[in-house]
Structure 1
Amino acid sequence: MSTSKRLSSAGLVPGLHRSEIMVCQYADNINSQGGAWVGGDILSYTLPLVFAQFIFIFLITRSIFLLFRPLKQSMITAYLISGILIGRTVLGRSEDFTELLFPIQGRMVLETIGELGFMFHLFILGVNTDATAVTRAGKNEILIGTSCFVVPYALCGLVVYTLPHFIFVNEVTEHCLIFISIMSAISTFPVITSLLADLNLLNSEVGRMATSSSMVCDFCSYFASLIMGFLGLSKKFNRMSIFLTIVWTVACLALVVVAVRPVILHINRRIPENGPMKETQFLAIMVLALLCGLVSEILGQPAGLGTFMLGIAVPNGPPLGSNLVNKIDVFCTGVLLPAKFAVSGLDMDLFSVGTGTAGAVMEFIIILGYITKFAGTFIPAVFVGFSVSDATSLSLIMCCKGIIEMAVFITLKENAMLTSQALGLLLGTMLVVTGTATPLVCYLYDPSMRYLGYRTNSILHSDPHTELRMLVCVHNEEDVPALINLLDITCPNRHRPISVSVLTLTELKGRADAVLLSGSSSVHGKPSPIGMKPSKSRTSDRIANAFHAFRTRNHSAAAVEFFTSVAPYASMHDDICTISLEKGANIVIVPYHKRVTFNGDVMANSPAIRMVNQNVLQKAPCSVGILVDREKVAENQAIRLGITLLRVTLLFIGGPDDREALAYCSRMTDHTHSSITLVWIRKTADRRPDNLDDPERDIDAELVNKFLSTHTGNDRISFIEEFATDAVDTTRVIRALIGHCELCIVGRYHDPNSELILGITEWTECSELGVIGDMLATTDFKFSVLVVQQLPQGTAMEHWNTLEPVGSSSRHSQSSRVFKPYSSRSYREPLKL
């Protein structure tokens, strides 16, 4: 056979729903086998053509995504636009382009592989979905979710029913309007959570409401989708066939729950908590996914429905859920999935879909669906107490559609329930609405605004004889010893009790929705109002047991409460700030992102944790401390037994942050097994009596004098005053601390124009530690460091004179209600000791 001859032919034949193109080609037309060297057309063979198609789709999709990313657009927008570009709207107008890269004979293979990728993508969405979340939905979520579905479904259905009585609507258009009205009410849980993840709003107040409401709406729309599917079957089969399909579908769902889920739970128990799954375990689940897809197709349902139900049966989160997501998601979502939606645009021409009366009527119903969905979300949201701005953001989010809706549109068109004109209008309107809603939500809603205005909770401006409220953040078990021993040397007692909120931070992996859990299954059982259920994690139990031991040692002076945040690192700070505001914390303690040993070796470096710390420093409604642990504070068993003293040094240069560090140090003075040295580094010019008055210097001097006069006669408190002319002298004083302390406490911010640090700032690597803190975190020093920030620079003077929130929402739910600061004093009020 000559490689230059025509290898395929096509023609129209009667199809299941309409006239279709039948392609005839040679059976061995798969591999080119070097045909290019003898003048053959490589792209006339199946395998090279599929490679070229996937490469082209991948490149154009990713290019569009990068181009529109600054406008807060997701990959769904890239899929839509790439389909429009490839289709007859733009590139498909060229017959040469279509015949070269997307010929008729090459579409079936591309669509089949795309369907396989979509099937596994739905499986991953099912794995990420926690179906039990709907049982935790409150009355507000149920109200909003139900209204979001019922209002557009009922109103659009009513209009579709009455419209033919006023204007002429042909039978085909009337049939399409029925399904358009049903689709207008859908807001799918995976789409909403994916959108919220892209916008970093998963664990925000509006994000949590949208997540729960979309789950409720999804349950309503799921039954509507089943009805829509059975209506499609009713056109082809008799009632008995439909009845048998329903019976077998229910039987298969029961089989998944009764037989398949126990096997998956057994596999889940055999995987180490933070370890990888075995190859045999992974392959077993993949075969189960293919089997569920096959059974679903046999029952007349899309293959993705079966794999999605199997995914729901898989426990989300680590270890099994996160392992499956890591192994499948990147390739299926990044390479295979775009093909399904790009090829859907090959026959779509947006320049012609809106022409004629039929197009105008269908577009009217589509727009009406979006308007009624917006109203169906906005009105109940305002009714339950959301502000207008937050209700608008929530409504825009619920109006967004994504990959699930796109797949349903395409399936309906393939089953002749929608015309090509209806599909084009649905996808085009979806592109406009979703593409416009996402940047609007970013503009209207900032989750940090509800706590940015509260800047009065600090140790310095609280009554030293009242309870000290601390929030300690734990990323893993290695953080626990240093944090607990830091709490020990804070010296809780009956006169100065402390209340500790322990927040375990877990990266969102293998699940779609961010959650905030309160309580610990091993310590106490009853969740607080902001929680959803007690934590069952083995790691969380061990962390909670360690803090429970601390509470037992200080049973009359310390209270401990436990929380777990499962959220993306990009928005994890929102949970930290929410808990600190909820509990009225005076200070938040977060671990340093590098794990540094005593010898100076860096064992772990997590840029994601660094980003969390930077966001907390910028937005926390209270003071923040970053603990750089070098295993010195953690090794305080001998200190607790009184065998040796823990030597604490406070470096005091001046400013709000140093004053906050001094206030924290004053809480340690009662600890009988610690010694505190206050090193005050002052400018040499301060010795001159004729020096101009400096209000900040006067406040510093007053606080230091108060501290020293209060602890006169305490031989565990020592004071060193050093005068420095420049940064060289400051460095000399700091280096003199080597070998003389186990913990150094220092403020974060110091005036960069001060002679004492001028020039050092050029060498700062980690700005979140400040100039001095960054120097102390280098390998030259062997002691642990606690860097304290009272307020982000520039916010002190503008917030200390008011108790009312600046720019915060007027509405706060039970899980984010706002507390008045427990103690509020003037910015310049001296420290009480």
Structure 2
Amino acid sequence: MLLGPTFIGRSMGFEKLLFSMNSWEHVNTLSLLSFMLFIFMIGVKTDLDMIRKTGKKAIAVAIVGTFLSFFLVLSLAYAFRSHIPPSFRNRVLISTFAYRWSMTSYTVLTCTLTELNLLTSKLGRLAMSASLIADFVNLTVSAGFQSYLIGSKQKDLLLSGMSFLAFLGFIGFIVFVARPVTVWIVNRTPEGSLLDEPSLIAVIFLALLCGVLSEAIGFHTNMGAFLFGLVIPGGEPLGVTLVERLERLVEGVFLPMYVVQSGLRVDLAGLKYIMEWGFIEFLVLVSILGKFFGVLFVCLYCKMSTRDAFSLALIMTNKGILEVENAGFWLDAQMITHQAFTVLILSVIIFGGVTSPFIKYIYRPEDRFIAYKRRTVQHTKPSAELRILACIYHQENVNSILSLLESTHPSSSSPICIYVLHLTNLVGRAAAILAPYKRNKSSNLITETDHIVNAFNYFSQQNPNNSVTILPFVCLSPYSTMHDDVCSLALDKKAALVLLPFHKHLAIDGTIESINPNIQNVNVNVLHYAPCSVGVLATLSTATMSRVAVYFFGGPDDREALAYGMRIAENDTVGLTLVRFRPPKELRDSGMEMKLDDAIVDEFRRRMVDDNRVVYREEVVIDGEGTVGVIRAMSSQFSLLIVGRREGKESRLTEGLSAWNEYPELGVVGDLLASTDFGGRVSTLVVQQQTRFGAGGKGQTAGRQKVHHQRQVAPAEFDEE
């Protein structure tokens, strides 16, 4: 806009120097190519199974929101037909505007949800399902409407029929020619590999060919590229290849050129006729409000909370690059004036710029991750089933998690239920997945998830008498929102403990290596929002977990660590030592926390200690230096150390240790034990007790974090209805 006729472009000399006719041709060509590839990649990432799994709520949101907006615009345009500006007195233009602006583009919506980290949220999934349904309705209506227009211009109904048959033939070409060729190319690629360059070029060529064919039969080029992307398999290897090799170039370089091209055509100085641009803005507001209240009505009728209903209505009214593309197409076809084009582009900028930050402000999906009972190991009865959500990022995490679970001593009198969740980064797809694991019987390939589930099933078989129950799940989600799926499953399954692997582990050569730094962010977010207790397992040794120590400093996290240690103490094959760190008597507190600490330690000594396999030790230290000395001298005797996270808890016993805290998810003591400078190579389990819970609809605190919320009922398992 700054370079356009509104500001700098008003100088004819500058315009001729920077934007000659030849340069405009190059810009237009690159813009068209980039937008076509962008739409194609969105199509590849789209999961058509979303339509099959769509609930009634998504269908209602799509139909009511779209048709209410559409009929409101047409009705008011008819009611004020005598006041319509001459440049807008085209029934085809008003009808086209009404149905285009009543839609919620799946392309725009996906980009917005990705930017706001709401792709895996409940409202995000509902919005994507509704917009995808609306896009398919739009495609069918557009095909029929475009065929009618082609015939009406020539006043030949036979031509309309021929145009629609050409559309059906084009669909047949995509399904029966282009798709099989692409599937053959994908099947030739080895598992875990990207497409080679000739294969990638062939797929891009097919996408461009589909765009050209759709233009040849009277439709827009983007429609052909999008349809081709929809029918070919996403994910690995095609979707991943497009993301790795093409996405940054298209979205970071070429696509901005398309937006710049539209901005160059905006002329604010040309807004002279208030009746014309005022009427257009009036129709824009009517379409937006119709969509908003249509979606809001459906959500409130389905008894969604007011905040969620308002948020979804805002999400569905969002506008973006597809509306910019429509305005440019209408201007090129001389259906609208430059003044109308300017008003439409400004409307997209205003509504797009306002709705996104407003959605981010009012909708917080983590607010629902609140349990209304204490879900901790400490508050789980010894004879009750202990529900554990074991998160697995890679196969390397399996052995250490299974070794820890084995030491937990599952039995028929104290069973454990393990929800195994394989977490995979979402690449090459737009729709996240959180679903129960199902083996693909039609394929002979053994996936990483299959190996993980097989290992846990074998563990279950080694513990008979129904002492271990395995329920596997799969999660395909971006790292930025992966914690939402973990917390959602923990809440839905009423887990008492979430086990997370540390983002570093012991390599084959004995060094400590980082698997993926993004995993650390996931762990930190889970610790912050989990509706139950959380344990982070740092595997720094290959030794079996037969000698365990619990370092006890006091507080809710340490009590939770000791409660887990007491379950381990039930295992006759494991030795356990409780080391309680205490200041001198004259420096000790006598508050409620101290009484709670004394109560659980006394219970442990009374029930567990035999001074042989289970031992209690008390170490009196003055400061952090004394604590480090004791830990350094003792840690090498054990194969597993269990400590509380103690986030934000500074005491005399750990004074000065937080200054070198490298891993905040491990807390002060856990960070010390996992540090490469400490010298010890002992696996460490860092435990944090549940911090978010409520009762009777009133916000409660679990030791340190105040939670403000309203009572909500956990949704049914993965049901979008």
Amino acid at match of 2:521: M
2:339 maps to which of 421, 435, 439 = 421
Superposition map of 1:194-213 within 5 A: 194-213=111-130
Structure 1 position 132, deviation (Å): 2.7
Aligned residues: 709
Superposition map of 1:538-553 within 5 A: 538-553=447-462
**Structure-1-length-normalised TM-score:** 0.81
User: Within the alignment, does 1:375 sit opposite 2:279 as a pair?
Assistant: no
Q: The residue matched to 1:511 in structure 2 has which SS?
A: coil
CA contact (8 A) 1:460 1:659 kept: yes
Q: The residue matched to 1:667 in structure 2 has which SS?
A: helix
User: Within the alignment, does 1:726 sit opposite 2:623 as a pair?
Assistant: yes
RMSD in angstroms over aligned alpha carbons?
2.7
Superposition map of 1:619-768 within 5 A: 619-632=529-542, 636=544, 646-683=546-583, 685-686=584-585, 693-713=590-610, 715-749=612-646, 753-768=650-665
Amino acid at match of 1:559: T
**Alpha-carbon distance change, 598 to 743 in structure 1, aligned in 2, over 3 angstroms:** farther
**Aligned equivalents of 1:751 and 1:744: distance in 2?**
21
Q: The residue matched to 1:737 in structure 2 has which SS?
A: helix
Structure 1 position 632, deviation (Å): 2.3
Corresponding residue number in structure 2 for 1:185 = 102
Structure 1 position 610, deviation (Å): 0.7
**Aligned equivalents of 1:293 and 1:648: distance in 2?**
64
User: Within the alignment, does 1:799 sit opposite 2:701 as a pair?
Assistant: yes
**Alpha-carbon distance change, 805 to 798 in structure 1, aligned in 2, over 3 angstroms:** closer
Corresponding residue number in structure 2 for 1:174 = 90
**Aligned equivalents of 2:588 and 2:434: distance in 1?**
54
**Aligned equivalents of 1:226 and 1:348: distance in 2?**
30
Q: The residue matched to 2:300 in structure 1 has which SS?
A: helix
Q: The residue matched to 1:86 in structure 2 has which SS?
A: coil
Structure 1 position 499, deviation (Å): 1.2
Superposition map of 1:780-791 within 5 A: 780-791=679-690
Amino acid at match of 2:233: P
**Aligned equivalents of 2:53 and 2:693: distance in 1?**
41
Structure 1 position 279, deviation (Å): 2.1
CA contact (8 A) 1:522 1:541 kept: no
Structure 1 position 794, deviation (Å): 13
Structure 1 position 386, deviation (Å): 1.1
Structure 1 position 598, deviation (Å): 7.8
**Aligned equivalents of 2:331 and 2:436: distance in 1?**
46
Structure 1 position 91, deviation (Å): 2.6
Q: The residue matched to 1:151 in structure 2 has which SS?
A: helix
**Aligned equivalents of 1:232 and 1:104: distance in 2?**
32
Amino acid at match of 1:769: L
CA contact (8 A) 1:455 1:799 kept: no
Q: The residue matched to 2:568 in structure 1 has which SS?
A: coil
**Alpha-carbon distance change, 391 to 755 in structure 1, aligned in 2, over 3 angstroms:** same
Unaligned runs of 5+ in 1: 1-83, 526-533, 637-644, 818-833
Corresponding residue number in structure 2 for 1:320 = 238
**Aligned equivalents of 1:434 and 1:343: distance in 2?**
18
Structure 1 position 211, deviation (Å): 1.3
Corresponding residue number in structure 2 for 1:572 = 482
**Alpha-carbon distance change, 691 to 621 in structure 1, aligned in 2, over 3 angstroms:** closer
Q: Deviations over 1:193-212 (max 9, x none)?
A: 21111111111121111111
Corresponding residue number in structure 2 for 1:831 = none
**Alpha-carbon distance change, 812 to 177 in structure 1, aligned in 2, over 3 angstroms:** farther
Amino acid at match of 2:172: A
Q: For structure 1, which segment, 150-159 or 537-546, has the greater mean C-alpha deviation from structure 2 after superposition? A: 537-546
Structure 1 position 748, deviation (Å): 0.6
Q: Deviations over 1:525-571 (max 9, x none)?
A: 9xxxxxxxx9x982222211111212222341122212222221111
Structure 1 position 738, deviation (Å): 4.0
Q: Deviations over 1:37-68 (max 9, x none)?
A: xxxxxxxxxxxxxxxxxxxxxxxxxxxxxxxx
Q: For structure 1, which segment, 269-278 or 720-729, has the greater mean C-alpha deviation from structure 2 after superposition? A: 269-278
2:421 maps to which of 500, 503, 514 = 503
CA contact (8 A) 1:745 1:785 kept: yes
**Aligned equivalents of 2:449 and 2:288: distance in 1?**
43
Q: The residue matched to 1:632 in structure 2 has which SS?
A: coil
**Aligned equivalents of 1:723 and 1:801: distance in 2?**
25
Q: The residue matched to 2:150 in structure 1 has which SS?
A: helix
Corresponding residue number in structure 2 for 1:97 = 14
1:814 maps to which of 706, 716, 719 = 716
1:470 maps to which of 377, 384, 388 = 388
CA contact (8 A) 2:582 2:619 kept: yes
Corresponding residue number in structure 2 for 1:33 = none
Percent identity (aligned)? 32
Corresponding residue number in structure 2 for 1:606 = 516
Amino acid at match of 1:588: V
Structure 1 position 601, deviation (Å): 1.7
**Aligned equivalents of 1:316 and 1:808: distance in 2?**
39
Superposition map of 1:504-543 within 5 A: 504-521=422-439, 538-543=447-452
Corresponding residue number in structure 2 for 1:151 = 68
User: Within the alignment, does 1:139 sit opposite 2:41 as a pair?
Assistant: no
User: Within the alignment, does 1:113 sit opposite 2:35 as a pair?
Assistant: no
Structure 1 position 245, deviation (Å): 2.6
Amino acid at match of 1:198: E
CA contact (8 A) 1:582 1:816 kept: no
Q: The residue matched to 1:469 in structure 2 has which SS?
A: strand
Structure 1 position 339, deviation (Å): 1.6
Q: The residue matched to 1:471 in structure 2 has which SS?
A: strand
**Aligned equivalents of 2:460 and 2:105: distance in 1?**
44
Q: Deviations over 1:249-308 (max 9, x none)?
A: 211211221222222223323333332222222122122223222322322222222222
Corresponding residue number in structure 2 for 1:258 = 176
**Alpha-carbon distance change, 596 to 90 in structure 1, aligned in 2, over 3 angstroms:** farther
Structure 1 position 453, deviation (Å): 6.2
Structure 1 position 455, deviation (Å): 7.1
